[in-house]
A and B are shown apart, each in its own frame.
Chain A
Amino acid sequence: EVQLVESGGGLVQPGGSLRLSCAASGFTFSSYAMTWVRQAPGKGLEWVSAISHSDGTTYYTDSVKGRFTISRDNSKNTLYLQMSSLRADDTAVYFCAKGPSGNYYPSVWGKGTTVTVSS
């Protein structure tokens, strides 16, 4: 069974940093693109970042470019999201998701981890 388990969320002050992790199991992690999607309280889904399975090509939504870095460790079956210069509007539940073979849209989602940016 495919499982994605996010961790690393918490309360952080504006301007601070946080690293989210997503532990994957039940599939060959190195063969699939991975994605981060977030959902602010009471709001809709927002695609944040994606990383290819093969050459590590990364993609970001404009609002996080230069502040967030997506990476993966295929030896540990883990996806990461390094977040810095955090702002109040980064407050959200962050979901990790697996793409289907050869594609990036989220086909399987984790349960999410909550990030709160507040002083």
Chain B
Amino acid sequence: QSVLTQPPSVSGAPGQRVTISCTGSSSNIGAGYDVHWYQQLPGTAPKLLIYGNTNRPSGVPDRFSGSKSGTSASLAITGLQAEDAADYYCQSYDSSLLWVFGGGTKVTVL
């Protein structure tokens, strides 16, 4: 069981908006630690998608956005595209467990 909880799967039609939640606690996200998001395409290494809660690295499309509030964070994908089908992971720091990942969310484009 991951310290950061994500839904196992989300799906949407092309062009739709989907969101992925990442729920933590007072020892990680709620303590003010940053949340980062990673995209893992099938058979490849993860790639940094969002860092510091809301920031996109160079080259990441602006249809990806991140937010954080209280003990939770969210990743939104607007204008869903077929190439967005992947696994997505949130990550933060925990005062007891150090660096932790969410369990991952599989995004399916219908």
A16 at the interface (CB under 8 A from B): no
Q: Categorize the interface residue count of chain B.
A: 20 to 34
Q: Categorize the interface residue count of chain A.
A: 20 to 34
Q: Check A104–B45 contact: CB distance below 8 A.
A: no
Q: Check A105–B45 contact: CB distance below 8 A.
A: no
Q: Check A59–B98 contact: CB distance below 8 A.
A: yes
A67 at the interface (CB under 8 A from B): no
A106 to B34, CA, bound (A): 13
A46 to B104, CA, bound (A): 11
A100 at the interface (CB under 8 A from B): yes
A47 to B100, CA, bound (A): 6
- Of the stretches A7-15, A78-86, A109-117, the one at the interface is A109-117
Give the number of A-B contacts (CB < 8 Å): 57
A46 to B1, CA, bound (A): 11
> How near does chain A come to B104, taking the closest CB pair, in angstroms?
4
Report chain A residues within 8 Å CB of B93.
104-105
Q: Check A45–B38 contact: CB distance below 8 A.
A: yes
Q: Check B45–A61 contact: CB distance below 8 A.
A: no
A106 to B103, CA, bound (A): 17
Q: Check A47–B46 contact: CB distance below 8 A.
A: no
Report chain B residues within 8 Å CB of A106.
38, 46, 48, 91
Residues of B participating in the A interface, judged by any CB pair closer than 8 Å: 2, 34, 36, 38, 40, 44-48, 51, 57, 87, 89, 91, 93, 97-104
Residues of A participating in the B interface, judged by any CB pair closer than 8 Å: 35, 37, 44-47, 50, 59, 61-62, 95, 100, 104-112
Pairs A–B under 8 Å by Cβ, sample size 5:
A46-B101, A47-B91, A61-B97, A104-B93, A105-B51
Identify the 9 closest CB pairs spanning chains A and B, nearest first.
Answer: A44-B104, A47-B99, A109-B45, A45-B101, A105-B36, A44-B103, A111-B45, A107-B48, A45-B89
